[in-house]
Structure 1
Amino acid sequence: MVEAALGRYGRLDGVLVASGSNHVAPITEMAVEDFDAVMDANVRGAWLVCRAAGRVLLEQGQGGSVVLVSSVRGGLGNAAGYSAYCPSKAGTDLLAKTLAAEWGGHGIRVNALAPTVFRSAVTEWMFTDDPKGRATREAMLARIPLRRFAEPEDFVGALIYLLSDASSFYTGQVMYLDGGYTAC
């Protein structure tokens, strides 16, 4: 991925690390292989992309910005059946903070963008007429003060801010994109 960007653009200025995998099951029923798959996608995958991108950004010597997609679940964790997903996204948050400290002296900013639910392959089940999906969707909406889920435009706006010079003094942070969900 990093090599493809370099081949196309000749340099690297900003990086979006978006990995999302989940397996919902009580911890007592979750197979170790399912736990490992979530950790591999959400933590190891992000770490590998950051390592490759960091090497390029450091070599270029002109700063840059890295944004890791996390989740409100990385900070809250209060979701039964998410014993793999929540810790994996907490790992994403801490990876952003660690790399911000490690690369900050080189002008490279690293942050995490932590949305609540927005429509994606991971959450599509919530937007069906399935009773479990409907119940989950309604319970989530009841906790969001803005009474709506994030739209792709919301995500893009936050991402543009984090990748641009408008956030030049913003690093090592987890930006919650949640309509007030974490305020309640």
Structure 2
Amino acid sequence: MLNDKIAVVTGGGRGIGRGITEKLLEAGARVLVAQRQPLDEILAANPQVAWVEVDLAEPDAPAVIAREVEKRFGGADVLVNNAGFMFERSLEEMEEDDWDRMMAVNLRAPVFLAKALLPLLRRHGGSIVNIGSIEGLGANPWHAAYCASKAGVHGFTRAMAVDLGRDGIRCNAIAPGWINSDLSHAYIDAQPDPAQARAGLLKLHPVGRTGEPQDIGNVVVFLASEAAAFITGQVLVVDGGRTAKLPLPF
């Protein structure tokens, strides 16, 4: 589906990003992974993968990534703004520095990385896929900054779709629900009764399971491909039905 396409994936070496990178490679793309951590041995040994070390909180990161993908692969066809982080703070506890770093990584970096890659994406048309969250639609306790950043991702996705359509560039977002990772497993294990927590979590999902990084990767490949040529400006919820299910009080 993506033979000879070149993709940039921020945070593409771990968690959801790793699932995205794997599925892009399976579809025939070459991938530049932009993140602070080095690639693991498997990705590092793959000739279709390159790595650029960047801290997305730094303002110069987008320009560094744009230069590197042109140097390594000669262009870019797909941008996946995946990297992000989350913290839990009540409004009383939250400091301005906490808020500013959240917005820098989760919201500013995707916007200005899209800007930095525009000259490359315009060459043949392209696809931008932003990873939002169901927390851009709803909220968990103490997630004010995270929810705001992801709602912003959804908003600028629609705006960029409108502005960049004339350049042949589509822009969509994915709003993942609960996706299994080392961090999510650790969160469940830290609960007073992990077994009960897992059981309760599964009950929230009509499909009977929680998500895997590859579930998000499959959707990225679709949105990046010509199969989605008439889809832009959309936020696609990928959550196993969690947000469709009304909770009962018993």
Match of 1:102 in 2: 163
Match of 2:92 in 1: 28
Contact 2:170 2:232 in 1 (8 A): yes
Greater radius of gyration (CA) = 2
Contact 2:77 2:120 in 1 (8 A): no
Match of 1:182 in 2: 243
**Structure 2 unaligned blocks of 5 or more:** 1-64, 246-250
Kindly indicate whether residue 113 of structure 2 is the aligned counterpart of residue 49 of structure 1: yes
TM-score (norm 1): 0.89
Kindly indicate whether residue 153 of structure 2 is the aligned counterpart of residue 89 of structure 1: no
How many residues get paired?
A: 180
**Per-residue deviation, residues 109-159 of structure 1 (Å, max 9, x unmatched):** 0011110121346535324x2116936655443221112111122111101
CA-CA distance at 1:165 after TM superposition: 0.6
The correspondence of residues 160-171 of structure 1 with structure 2, limited to 5 A, is 160-171=221-232
Match of 1:14 in 2: 78
Following TM superposition, the consecutive aligned residue runs of length 4 or more in structure 1 with deviations greater than 4 angstroms are 135-139
Flag the 1:36–1:132 CA change in 2: closer, same or farther, 3 A. Answer: farther
Flag the 1:168–1:33 CA change in 2: closer, same or farther, 3 A. Answer: same
- Matched to 1:55, the amino acid is P
Flag the 1:153–1:30 CA change in 2: closer, same or farther, 3 A. Answer: same
- Matched to 1:171, the amino acid is T
Match of 1:75 in 2: 137
**Per-residue deviation, residues 65-90 of structure 1 (Å, max 9, x unmatched):** 000111110012x2110000001000
Flag the 1:25–1:94 CA change in 2: closer, same or farther, 3 A. Answer: same
SS in 1 for 2:144: coil
- Identity over aligned pairs, percent: 32
CA-CA distance at 1:162 after TM superposition: 0.7
Match of 1:151 in 2: 212
**Per-residue deviation, residues 44-96 of structure 1 (Å, max 9, x unmatched):** 111121111123223x2x210000111110012x2110000001000001111
SS in 2 for 1:148: coil
- Matched to 1:105, the amino acid is R
Which is helix-richer, 1 or 2?
1
Match of 2:32 in 1: none
The RMSD of aligned alpha carbons is: 1.9
The correspondence of residues 118-157 of structure 1 with structure 2, limited to 5 A, is 118-120=179-181, 123-127=184-188, 129-131=189-191, 134=194, 137-157=198-218
Match of 2:103 in 1: 39
Flag the 1:136–1:103 CA change in 2: closer, same or farther, 3 A. Answer: farther
Contact 1:96 1:112 in 2 (8 A): yes
Measure the CA separation in 1 of the matches of 2:172 and 2:183: 22
Flag the 1:152–1:166 CA change in 2: closer, same or farther, 3 A. Answer: same
Match of 1:65 in 2: 127
Measure the CA separation in 1 of the matches of 2:212 and 2:180: 7
